[in-house]
Homo-oligomer: A and B are copies of this chain.
Amino acid sequence: MQTHTLLMPLDMHLHLRDGVMLENVAPLSAYSFSGAIVMPNLVSPVSSLKDIQEYKQRIMASVPNDYFEPYMTLFYKNYDKAFLESVADDITAIKLYPAGITTNSEGGVSSFNIKEMSETLEAMSELEIPLCVHGETDGFVMDREAEFMSIYELLASSFPKLKIIMEHITTKEAVEMLDKYENLYATITVHHLLLTLDDVVGGMMMPHNFCKPIAKRPEDLDALLSVALKAHPKVMFGSDSAPHPQNKKESCGCAAGVFTAPIALQLLCEIFEQYESLDNLQAFVSDNAQSIYGICPEFKEVTLEKRTFVIPQNYSSVVPIYAGQAINWAIQTVD
Kindly list chain B residues whose C-beta atoms are within 8 Å of the C-beta of A256: 204-205
Number of copies: 2
Q: Which of A136-166 contact B (CB under 8 A)?
A: 140-142
Tally of chain A residues near chain B (CB < 8 A): 27
Question: In the complex the two chains form, is B141's CB within 8 Å of A201's CB?
Answer: yes
Q: Tell me the minimal C-beta distance from A222 to chain B in angstroms.
A: 12
Q: Which of A209-231 contact B (CB under 8 A)?
A: 210, 214, 217-218
Contact residue among B204, B217, B254 (Cβ-Cβ distance under 8 Å from A204): B254
| Closest B residue by C-beta to A250 | B252
Question: In the complex the two chains form, is B205's CB within 8 Å of A254's CB?
Answer: yes
Most buried by B among A197, A201, A253, A319: A201
Contact residue among B201, B206, B218, B319 (Cβ-Cβ distance under 8 Å from A214): B201
| Closest B residue by C-beta to A253 | B204
Give bound CA distance, A253 to B249, whole Å: 11
Contact residue among B140, B250, B251, B252 (Cβ-Cβ distance under 8 Å from A196): B140
Q: CB of A292 within 8 A of chain B?
A: no
Contact residue among B140, B141, B204 (Cβ-Cβ distance under 8 Å from A255): B204
Q: Which of A244-265 contact B (CB under 8 A)?
A: 249-256
Give bound CA distance, A170 to B218, whole Å: 21
Contact residue among B142, B205, B251 (Cβ-Cβ distance under 8 Å from A197): B142
Kindly list chain B residues whose C-beta atoms are within 8 Å of the C-beta of A198: 140-141
Question: In the complex the two chains form, is B250's CB within 8 Å of A206's CB?
Answer: no
Give bound CA distance, A271 to B251, whole Å: 29
Known: A141-B198, A197-B201. 4 other contacts (CB 8 A): A142-B142, A201-B214, A204-B255, A205-B210
User: Which 9 A-B residue pairs are closest in the complex by CB-CB distance?
Assistant: A141-B202, A205-B254, A204-B253, A205-B210, A250-B252, A141-B198, A141-B197, A205-B207, A140-B218
